[in-house]
């Protein structure tokens, strides 16, 4: 079974998970016949050292609420269990060992594609997995690294970001169109972003 698995990995802070994340994961799953897509929340994203990230327990709770209707979308706590900063190549190594022979795809937005060649141990990472890229407005994508295998989704992603959700929630604006209903209720009930921007 493991040898036939087509596995999608989707990393990020998910602070909070929003409708764009879900649409990207579902589009990748459908377009590339992925048996499973795992959301992998970061303990402390290496590229977001200038911002405090919400506690892992709250981010996990919002993810579990958002993914409940989708049995083929799941959560991995791999990066949260590690005390040190985790880089994408380390996550890819872990899943390559856990699922030997599986075809592994990392799901990213076109904004991340522009930085891909600068990721830590990028050449090694390219040997471990392929990439599925969702097109985000305003990001052309840049040059594809020579050794990377990159596939593009045709449908553009909605213009929503976690920072937009946080800003709207902090200002008391509606976030109904930005996050799944259960996540909206969680954010309103807990006031998690009332003092954040």
Instruction: Write out pLDDT tens, residues 85-130.
Output: 899 999 999 999 999 999 999 999 988 888 899 999 999 999 999 9
How high does pLDDT run on average in the chain?
A: 91
Spell out the domain ranges in the chain.
2-159
pLDDT at 140: 60
Give 2-159's CATH code, choosing from 1.10.10.350, 3.40.50.620, 3.20.20.70, 3.90.550.10: 3.40.50.620
Inter-CA distances, 26 with 4, 39, 45, 52, 61, Å? 20, 12, 23, 28, 20
For 63-77, 148-162, 167-181, which range has the lowest pLDDT when averaged over its residues?
Answer: 148-162
Mean pLDDT, range 128-137, rounded to an integer: 90
Which tens digits make up the pLDDT trace of 48-66? 555 689 999 999 999 999 9
């Amino acid at each position: 079974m493991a040898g036939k698995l087509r596995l999608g990995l989707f990393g990020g802070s998910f602070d909070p998970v929003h409708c764009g994340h879900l649409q990207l994961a579902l589009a990748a799953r459908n377009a590339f016949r992925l048996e499973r897509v795992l959301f992998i929340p970061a303990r402390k994203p290496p590229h977001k050292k200038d911002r405090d990230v919400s506690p892992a327990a709250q981010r996990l709770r919002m993810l579990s609420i958002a993914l409940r209707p989708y049995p083929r979308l799941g959560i991995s706590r791999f990066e949260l269990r590690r005390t040190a900063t985790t880089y994408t190549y380390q996550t890819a190594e872990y899943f390559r060992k856990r699922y030997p022979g599986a075809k592994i795809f990392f799901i990213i937005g076109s904004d991340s594609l522009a930085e891909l060649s600068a990721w830590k141990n990028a050449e090694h990472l390219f040997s471990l997995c392929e990439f599925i890229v969702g097109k985000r407005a305003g990001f052309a994508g840049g040059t594809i690294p020579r050794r990377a295998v990159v596939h593009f989704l045709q449908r553009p992603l909605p213009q929503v970001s976690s920072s937009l959700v946080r800003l709207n929630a902090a200002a008391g604006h509606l976030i109904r169109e930005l996050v799944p209903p259960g996540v909206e209720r969680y954010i309103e009930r807990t006031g998690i972003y009332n003092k954040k921007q």
